[in-house]
Amino acid sequence: MPGCNPQPRSYASFASFNDPDGNVGVLQETVIFFPTTSDSASDLASALRRAVAAHGEREDRTGQPDPVRPNWSAEYMVREQAGEEFAT
């Protein structure tokens, strides 16, 4: 149904879009916010840049665009923060 979910719940409302490069994006409403372990916006931005670079290497290697980049990037960042290896 169009519009926001009348009962606010995380991931109950979403919107999808295509950008000019053909990438698909999805926005989801969350009502629960998870703290980050980054000490600053600069640290978080650096973590995001590392995740984007690693994901780009993965797409180059597979030759396939990845429609779930945010999910992959989030998992990469969580595992990196925990000091775990992540198969790229």
Token pair of 49, please?
């840049």
Q: Are residues 48 and 28 in the same domain?
A: no
Number of domains in the chain: 2
**Per-residue pLDDT tens for 9-64?**
776 788 888 988 889 988 877 766 555 666 777 887 788 788 888 888 888 888 88
CA–CA gap between residue 73 and residue 8 (Å, rounded)? 26
Q: Are residues 20 and 54 in the same domain?
A: no
- What are the E-state strand segments in 29-76? none
Q: Are residues 82 and 65 in the same domain?
A: yes
Q: Are residues 49 and 82 in the same domain?
A: yes
What is the domain range of residue 66? 35-88
The pTM is what?
0.43
Q: Are residues 3 and 29 in the same domain?
A: yes
**Whether the Cβ atoms of residue 30 and residue 22 lie closer than 8 Å to each other:** no
More confident residue, 87 or 57: 57
Amino acid identity for residue 11 in this structure: Y
C-alpha triplet 58, 62, 66: angle, nearest 5°:
65
pLDDT score at 49: 82
pLDDT score at 36: 60
Q: Are residues 23 and 40 in the same domain?
A: no
Q: Are residues 23 and 50 in the same domain?
A: no
